[in-house]
Structures are given as C-alpha cells and as structure tokens.
C-alpha cells in the first residue's frame, strides 16, 4: 500500500508502505486488505487481475441487497422494516414475488443491431434526435429543396464529406457547394490527405478554410473545415487531443454559442482511447453550455 496520508476507508488509519491495500474502482479510496477481509490468495489474485474491486460501502450502494442471504429477510426488506409483516401475511412468499425475466434475443443477429441493446431505442428521456441524411454528391440536388426550407427556418447548416484525397475530388466538392440552393454555414471534410504545403491550394469562394494535416512524414488522414465568410469563428485547438487516438478540428461560432467539429478516427486506432477522448470532449463542451455539431468518420 502506498505511503500516503490518505486514511483507510474502513478503519480510518493511514496507509503505510509495508501494509497491503486495495483501491476501490468506484469511490477511488484505499482500504487495508485486512480491513477488506481479503485472504492472502485473494489479494494476490486481485493484483494480477484486470477485474474491478469495490469496497463494502460502494457495494451497498450499487447492490443494496448484497448482504441478504435469507429469503424471508429479503421479503421483509422490500415490503416493510417490520418482521411482523411477514408473519401476518403468509401469502408474501418468495415464489410469488415478481421475477425478472431477461429479454430474449436472436443469437444469430449481430449484437449492435439488436434493439434491446440499442441506446437510440432504449433511452430514458424525451430527447428528440434529428434524422441524419446520408447521400452521395448526385443526391444533394434532389433533396436540396427540403434542405433549403430547414436552412431558412434555422439559418444554420453543416455538410460532411469523406474525401480520401481532396486533390482528386476538389472539383466535385466545389461544384456540389455551388449547386446548393442555400449557403452552407460549414463544410467538414475528412481524409483530406493534405500537407502543410498544399493546404492553401484548396480555396472555395465565399468560405474560409481551416485544415489540420498530418506531419510531413505521414501520408493520408487530415481533416478540414470550410466556414462561411459571413460567420465569425475562432479555432478551438484546446479541444483537439495531443495523442494519436483521433484527428480532429474544432471552431467556435461565438455569436451563436455553437461549436463545429470534424473528427476522424484512423482505422486500427484504439477504440477505447477514442471513446474516452469523446467522453472528455463532450463533457468539456457541456460544462461550457455550448451547442455542438460534430461530424465523425
């Protein structure tokens, strides 16, 4: 146990370097192994395991009935604190209590396509999510009429495209933007494959471009944002990670209290690190009470 001035959660005595201790993954507090009633074998097994360990207080919070081993005690606990209730109501028996029936699912289906596991279906709030429209460049003109109505109503629009080398499809991108019946607020591009030397080559009239390219010794990747010249914006470099879990670019529209971001996770990068980054990112934006529009590839 580290020699620190943090008291054991159970006995309140400070931990010493010659004492064995365990760390609760929930409350983030130390507990003497002896106070936690861990045997020598259990302590060493926990030390080489990746499993989480929770102290008694946290277990009581997470599993309020974890100490109950008797059926009668459980029935009294969920009906009344008075033992006489059980004696006076013999019909209250364990067999007649509601039994949790786990949902059934077809094991031949992919897990992520199962509605029982889909967070977009099983959420517990009234959040209304806007429908996203995915299309190729040739489809834009056919839906531009409906898009124009929404843009006129909200005066805001963001379009995302995956380039896989902007030099190859830059003409298609500029033609697509020119053919729209409205002015985009922002155009987000992923996999631009730009370098610091080529970023200035790709200018679209009426828009200010911001790129984040890979280092010169790395090819591919890269993200970019085109912001309408009529919109005041500032680059938010503080929202971009310092590691290599993702390639990101963020700008803030101060007049609208809006943040627009383009996020690209290169194939093969650690998904857990990327998820942790997104969690920290969204928490940071939420604490500032900003509205965020994040495109992800």
250 versus 60: the higher-pLDDT residue is 250
SS3 per residue for 50-80: CCCCCCHHHHHHHCCCCCCCCHHHHHHHHHC
Instruction: Using pLDDT thresholds of 50, 70 and 90, give the confidence band for residue 230.
Output: very high
Confidence of residue 100 (pLDDT cuts 50, 70, 90): very low
The highest-level CATH class for domain 138-296 is alpha beta
Q: Does residue 295 have a pLDDT over 50?
A: yes
| pLDDT tens, residue by residue, 284-293 | 888 888 888 8
**Angle, alpha carbons 145-183-220 (nearest 5°):** 105
Q: How confident is the model at residue 4 (pLDDT cuts 50, 70, 90)?
A: very low
Tell me the two tokens of residue 181: 């019946």
Question: Band of the pLDDT at 109, cuts 50, 70, 90?
Answer: very low
Say whether pLDDT at 195 is over 80: yes
CA–chain centroid gap for 209, Å, is 28
Q: Is the model's pLDDT at 262 over the cut of 50?
A: yes
Supply the pLDDT for residue 260: 94
pLDDT one-digit tens code per residue, 19-56? 888 888 888 888 888 888 888 888 888 888 888 888 87
CA distances from 177 to 42, 102, 223, 226, 287 (A): 64, 50, 18, 11, 34
Q: What is the mean pLDDT of the chain?
A: 75
Residue 188: closest CA among 292, 38, 90: 292
Q: What is the pLDDT of residue 17?
A: 74
Cβ contacts of 294 within 8 Å, gap of 6 or more: 260, 261, 262, 263
Structure tokens at 112: 């992520």
Instruction: Please report, for the chain, the start and end positions of each structural domain, with discontinuous segments joined by +.
Output: 138-296
């Amino acid at each position: 146990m580290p020699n620190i001035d943090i008291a054991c959660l159970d006995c309140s005595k400070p931990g010493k370097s010659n004492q064995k201790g365990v760390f609760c993954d929930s409350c983030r507090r130390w507990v003497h192994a002896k106070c936690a009633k861990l045997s020598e074998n259990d302590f060493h097994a926990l030390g080489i395991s990746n499993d989480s360990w929770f102290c008694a207080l946290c277990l009581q919070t997470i599993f309020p009935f974890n100490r109950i081993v008797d059926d009668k005690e459980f029935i009294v606990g969920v009906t009344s604190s008075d033992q006489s209730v059980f004696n006076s109501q013999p019909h209250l028996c364990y067999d007649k209590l509601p039994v949790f029936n786990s949902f059934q699912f077809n094991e031949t289906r992919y897990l992520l396509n199962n509605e029982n596991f889909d967070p977009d279906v099983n959420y517990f709030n009234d959040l209304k999510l806007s429908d996203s429209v995915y299309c190729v460049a040739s489809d834009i003109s056919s839906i531009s009429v409906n898009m124009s109505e929404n843009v006129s109503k909200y005066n805001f629009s963001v379009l995302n495209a995956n380039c896989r080398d902007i030099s190859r499809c830059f003409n298609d991108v500029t033609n697509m933007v020119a053919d729209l019946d409205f002015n985009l607020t922002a155009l987000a591009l992923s996999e631009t494959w730009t370098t610091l030397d080529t970023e200035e080559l790709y200018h679209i009239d009426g828009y200010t471009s911001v790129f984040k390219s890979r280092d010169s010794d790395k090819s591919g990747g890269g993200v970019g944002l085109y912001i309408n010249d009529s919109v005041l914006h500032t680059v938010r470099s503080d929202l971009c990670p310092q590691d290599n879990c993702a390639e990101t670019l963020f700008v803030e529209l101060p007049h609208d209290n809006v943040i627009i971001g383009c996020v690209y996770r290169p194939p093969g990068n650690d998904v857990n690190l990327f998820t942790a980054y997104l969690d920290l990112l969204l928490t940071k934006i939420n604490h500032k009470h900003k509205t965020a529009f994040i495109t992800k590839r």
